[in-house]
């Protein structure tokens, strides 16, 4: 690695990454190890001793993983009993829309950024349509 390298350093030291990837286990274990390193989960919640089996890795992930900063569903939309209608209007309060990730009924499998942008763009369309009266 060049001395003049710029940018953030990987949170898991190179030697430790090699140990994780090359540990004797199944292909599934190696894929899980790579996934953990890419997400940074290993660096943030690194076990004191490297788990020896896929079951041990799974137990570690279940114990130390969290949802991060992507809560959704607190004002979910859809259906008659939902807080928000299909045009993102808050039921029971005129002139108020909820335009963020909280309207998603369930969390998506990835980052919520793109979906939240789509919700905001769709809300802009709804607002313009209501203002123009069509």
Q: Where are the alpha helices (DSSP H) in 4-100?
A: 14-22, 27-39, 41-44, 54-64
Q: Where are the alpha helices (DSSP H) in 41-132?
A: 41-44, 54-64, 113-132
> Phi-psi bin for 23: left (phi > 0), alpha (psi -120 to 50), beta?
beta
Closest CA to 97 of 120, 115, 113: 120
**Catalytic status, residue 10:** no
Catalytic residue, from 16, 17, 70, 76: name it: 70
14: tokens are: 């190179």
Active site residues: 70
């Amino acid at each position: 690695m060049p001395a003049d390298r710029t940018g953030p350093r990987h949170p898991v030291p190179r030697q430790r990454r090699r140990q994780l990837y090359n540990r004797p286990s199944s292909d599934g274990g190696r894929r899980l190890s790579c996934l953990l390193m890419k997400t940074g989960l290993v660096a943030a919640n690194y076990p004191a001793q490297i788990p020896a089996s896929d079951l041990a890795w799974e137990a570690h992930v279940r114990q130390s993983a969290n949802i991060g900063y992507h809560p959704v569903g607190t004002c979910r939309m859809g259906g008659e009993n939902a807080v928000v209608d299909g045009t993102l209007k808050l039921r029971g309060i005129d002139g108020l829309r909820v335009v963020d990730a909280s309207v998603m009924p369930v969390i998506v499998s990835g980052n919520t950024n793109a979906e939240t942008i789509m919700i905001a763009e769709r809300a802009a369309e709804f607002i313009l349509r209501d203002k123009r009266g069509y």
